[in-house]
Chains A and B, each alone.
Chain A
């Protein structure tokens, strides 16, 4: 017994060691970004850097907010992510309901298969034709081009997430509503959607964050500052202010903020729903 106890203690110590090392590895770059954002320029450009900030300052945030196009980028990102989430949610909800209610019908299976396949098709392979299409339609450097294109990866994601939430509701609910003379659209609006609010919110937030984080299409399809979104925007910051790491980190922190807030809500789905849905394949 004593042997087993010693072995357990050894295993436990090893686990703590591994976990502490992993946490440090994961946290350090994130904390260093936060740290730099609050440092004055002479401490950012110090040859003996440390986590300790002698004179904490908000000057980097002021620079970003007042003397850069950051707020314009922010507005553009909100518009693009907001509208693409809206379009995605409206079209995906109906589709997900059908996928959940009639999973064995062959037309439904075709759509589900196509969605799965389109989830596998990488954006960079669609980049050139989508760029050409937007160019031919005269939509380059417009919000509309990004809103449309973001649907390519947001819709499959949203449909599969919503379907798993709808699957969790008992089918008897719909049968009872049908017996009481409730039509399908009325059932959807008056029963299914109100019952799925947490799922709708999670899906919407996840879609919003995905659009918010997207870089490549925003970088390629938008060519003027007035319509540029945040992720390509802050990358271009780096070229414009190549030495001002403090401001760049402040801009990064501000960019992450809405993502972080969203995940405070989303984390309850992370261990269960999201990963299961992602791993199902």
Chain B
């Protein structure tokens, strides 16, 4: 009896052990409770501070919300969008945003690539040059903006005084106060501050290129520009695409630089869409219109991001794969 029982129990244990063993991998696949607990704070934070405000933008873009006139409430249909589209400042602001973004990112790309190419490979004092080039990126935007405002000041700014002194200018120019120079000048300051980030990224990518490729090409008599065109540039393509996409988004929505240097002026000459959003909400107190514009900008950004993520990036990956297969 006892023996039978113990055998039965033993079999039971074995059976349970077997099911436990069988279950183990399945249980491993499930996320342990503690991991859920660890995820909760960040998940809540994202819901409260990103998801909720985003939905709020959409909601308020189709409702009357005015800070000075709290009686105006309720569903507004497309009235807020109409307010935005009827604003005479919209098209100039859109055009300014395009100019500001294209010239900023273009300038950053060119300077970043040129400096990275000069830095890559052994050179005496390379670390010092790299340190010098990175300095602008460490300076807070506000300080950079004020610093450039001082250098460019029309009365005692060093740039004007020196340019007049060496005869390039007949008289000092109010770079930030003139309609046709304000936006290009802020763009220059922005390029100055941002291009070092491209330098570091391009440098890292260039250093990852196997040196044998360049050596073999050089042995075969390929001149430097050909090696650059056929070896360096293809290897830079993934980094370039990521950098440019991110910076197009970041630059288009940048508020700080323009606000610190010109506040969108003179006479809206440097007003971009983010400045317009700020004006709608905090100077005209028309939150609905601000949200309508913000919502439209957000859709544009999202479209661009998805094009990048699922369109261009896929093409580039395929190309790089072909390239690597060719190398092998």
List residues of A whose CB falls within 8 A of some B CB. 11-12, 14-16, 18-19, 22-23, 25-27, 29-30, 32-33, 36, 44-49, 90-92, 94-95, 97-98, 101-102, 105, 107-108, 111, 114-115, 118, 120-133, 148-149, 151-152, 155, 159, 184-185, 212-213, 215-216, 219-220, 231-232, 234-235, 238, 245, 248-249, 252, 255-256, 259-260, 263, 267, 270-272, 274-276, 278-281
Contacts and interface: CB of A to CB of B under 8 A. Distances in A.
Contacts of B29: 105
B298 interface: yes
Contact of B200 (A124, A148, A270): A270
Given A29-B136, A94-B41, A235-B142, A249 B147 contact: yes
Contact of B57 (A12, A91, A129, A231): A129
B256 interface: yes
B50 A30 contact: no
Interface string B32-51: 10111111011101100111
Contacts, number: 263
Contact of A49 (B49, B141, B156): B156
B176 interface: no
B123 A15 contact: yes
21 contacts: A19-B115, A29-B147, A29-B192, A91-B42, A111-B46, A120-B305, A121-B301, A124-B274, A125-B301, A152-B50, A212-B140, A215-B142, A215-B256, A245-B156, A249-B150, A259-B138, A260-B138, A270-B134, A271-B203, A280-B242, A281-B245
A121 B197 CA distance: 20
Given A105-B31, A271-B203, A279-B204, A98 B297 contact: no
A259 B139 CA distance: 8
B42 A155 contact: yes
A234 B192 contact: no
B32 to A, nearest CB: 8
Contacts of A151: 45, 49
Contacts of A278: 197, 201
Contacts of A216: 255-256, 259
Interface residues of B, number: 92
B118 A15 contact: yes
Main secondary structure of the interface of A (DSSP, over half): helix
Contacts of B149: 238
B98 interface: no
Given A118-B50, A125-B297, A18 B114 contact: yes
A94 to B, nearest CB: 4
Contact of B42 (A92, A120, A267): A92
Interface in B127-172: 129, 131-136, 138-151, 153, 156, 158, 161-162, 165
Given A30-B139, A127-B277, A248 B146 contact: yes
Contacts of A124: 253-255, 274, 277-278, 294
